[in-house]
Amino acid sequence: MKIAIAQLNYHIGHFKNNLKVMLEAIEQAKKESADLILFGELASCGYPPRDFLEFEDFIQKSNTTIDALCAASEDIAIVVGAPSVNPVPEGKDLYNSAYFLHEKEIKHVQHKCLLPTYDVFDEYRYFEPATAFKLVPFKGKKIALTICEDIWNIGNENPLYTTCPLDEYEKDQPDLILNLSASPFSFGHIDERREIVRANSVRYKIPLFYANHAGAQTELIFDGGSLVANSKGVIVDELKLFEEDIRYYDLETVEATTKDNIPRHDKMENIRKALVLGIRDYFAKLGLKKAILGLSGGIDSALVTVLAAQALGKENVKAVLMPSQFSSDHSITDSIELVNNLGIDHNIIEIQSIYDQFMGQLQALFEDRPFNVAEENLQSRSRGVLLMAISNKLGHILLNTSNKSELAVGYGTLYGDMCGGLSVIGDLYKTEVFELCRHLNKEGEVIPENIITKPPSAELRPNQKDSDSLPDYDILDSILFEYIENRKGPKEIIEMGHDAQLVERTLGLVNRNEFKRYQTAPVLRISTKAFGMGRRLPIVAKYLN
């Protein structure tokens, strides 16, 4: 049996395009004499469709896509993910299903059993879990159809679930496993995915073919990396990361492979590719082309500028330098050196006169109160007004340049530097920002060295440095990581050796600034716990405040 894995970039709700790319893959697979082609989870409609699933018209369009694929299955079996209607009144209205199409017929529909409802996943909101498990006979083989999470409860050891689908299938002795996935990227997930695929093939002693998506859907980035493992637990192949790919596998050759055939991956390079893909697909799928951002001379905006140029092309990125009376000369010269290195367009708009006009109008209200955060935020908001005006007039989308450390502790100004249509590095801690910039400069200096080495500063008052009000970022980020990613409380973090007063202050800042994060742009997710859809905390709460 010759099996094709089609790792494609789907577009949520764009049924015409999703059908087109699948039909093209099917035609290519037929030319390669493939017996079966495997697509990803909910490929008909894209993943995650969320509340679009509540629209009857959306489901009908998905069904029409399945009908069209069925018509193309005369000389090849097609395995594709799509929602299906639950025919009984009890339970949810839909299943998350895998369709097995052959000879222009729907031969079998297998529903997903394990419905993840944690972090960015919310499948039990929409779908009824499967309770029946039936193998599909094809070409003298018995095939177990599984969908994403179904292979993540090996031996019923995952405490989230009480059923292990493959244990159920094992009773009827399947010959191979097909898995349709929509598995989003986080920087440690690639290795976890490989080991899950390997562990399943070892436990059940049968080959496993795993098809993932490749592409971004708003904040979620799907990294591809589809896999093939044989019955001995050998990873026979891994498809490209962050790209569409289609490959073909002879079942006998897969079984004869004796050595893993997977490349080594670099964490920072994967993060770079993920963020570039996230920007590119956000713009392309929304029909957008050009980006604008404020370039301060600091490391965050420098990094976003480089990533935007890589994603959209240098001709589609505009940087605006907006120095104030507090801006250092090197912030301007460093920024100009960066835009010259990249070859992107830039403008310089001085904001001191704008700031002075605001202050003149506010003087009566401010009276003789001393300079404080109000004046600092006024500078940031002046810049935000300018950037949004240019965005509106030119049709450029503003990219947000806040990092995760700043977002966590509230070191950003609403309607100022927190403006933007997409938060590019909002899931990168400041220490990771430095690490990624160093990575970008490995093959030659793109980001000027002075931007990387100078002490971080918002430059909103004379001689300001981040360290005036925050601990060193390596200390701050380690506390934030334990609280946000590992969900550890203050006592546990203090017991790890961190200063008690600092821990309590830091966690209090995180919680008090939840209201700001509710108003920020979507954050491209590269970690296991990003701000946004996967982290849902109340604004009005007293915990640690």
Catalytic residue selected from 2, 45, 70, 112 = 112
What would the pLDDT profile of 117-163 be if each residue is shown by its tens digit?
999 999 999 999 999 999 999 999 999 999 999 999 998 888 899 99
What residue type is assigned to position 28 of the chain? Q
Catalytic residue selected from 45, 113, 148, 419 = 148
Q: Which two tokens stand for residue 477?
A: 């980020």
Task: For 317, list phi and psi in degrees, rounded to 5.
Answer: -125, 130
Between the alpha carbon of residue 177 and those of residues 2, 13, 82, the distances in Å are: 14, 28, 18
**Separation between Cα atoms, residue 196 and residue 202, nearest integer Å:** 10
In CATH, which superfamily holds the domain spanning 2-265?
Carbon-nitrogen hydrolase (3.60.110.10)
Q: Which of 77, 86, 81 is nearest to 66 (CA)?
A: 81
Torsion of CA 272, 276, 277, 280, to 10 degrees: 180
What would the pLDDT profile of 62-97 be if each residue is shown by its tens digit?
999 999 999 999 999 999 999 999 999 889 999 999
Between the alpha carbon of residue 438 and those of residues 258, 295, 331, 434, 492, the distances in Å are: 38, 19, 19, 6, 32
SS3 content of the chain, % helix, strand, coil (to 5): 40, 20, 40
Confirm if 152 and 114 have CB atoms less than 8 A apart. Answer: yes
Which residues have CB under 8 Å from 453's CB, separation 6+?
none
Q: Quote the DSSP letter at residue 164.
A: -
The question of whether 148 is a catalytic residue gets the answer yes
9-13, 29-33, 70-74, 153-157: the lowest-pLDDT one: 153-157
Q: Which of 293, 282, 146, 147 is nearest to 220 (CA)?
A: 282
Average pLDDT over residues 328-341: 92
The question of whether 41 is a catalytic residue gets the answer yes
pLDDT for 460 beyond 90? no
What is the torsional sign of CA 483, 524, 533, 456?
Answer: positive
141: burial class by Cβ within 10 Å (0-12, 13-18, 19+)? middle
Q: Which two tokens stand for residue 456?
A: 């971080």
Domain boundaries, the chain: 2-265, 283-461
Average pLDDT over residues 36-60: 98
* pLDDT value for 330: 83
Between the alpha carbon of residue 38 and those of residues 80, 130, 155, 271, 312, the distances in Å are: 6, 20, 25, 27, 31
Fold agreement (2-265, 283-461):
no
pLDDT for 451 beyond 90? yes
Q: Going edge to edge, which strands form the sheet with 77-85?
A: 105-111, 94-102, 77-85, 36-38, 2-7, 245-250
Average pLDDT over residues 204-231: 98
Between the alpha carbon of residue 429 and those of residues 230, 233, 301, the distances in Å are: 39, 36, 14
For residue 48, say if its preceding peptide bond is cis, omega within 30 degrees of 0: yes
What residue type is assigned to position 261 of the chain? N
| Strands (DSSP E) found in 24-119 | 36-38, 77-85, 94-102, 105-111
- Local structure of 398: helix, strand or coil: strand
pLDDT for 468 beyond 90? no
* pLDDT value for 545: 64
The question of whether 240 is a catalytic residue gets the answer no
194-208, 352-366, 445-459: the lowest-pLDDT one: 445-459
Ramachandran class of 266: left when φ > 0, alpha when ψ lies in -120 to 50, beta otherwise: beta
What would the pLDDT profile of 375-398 be if each residue is shown by its tens digit?
999 999 999 999 999 999 999 999
Q: Which fold has domain 283-461?
A: Rossmann fold (3.40.50)
Q: Going edge to edge, which strands form the sheet with 208-211?
A: 136-138, 141-147, 176-180, 208-211, 227-229, 235-238
**Separation between Cα atoms, residue 458 and residue 404, nearest integer Å:** 15
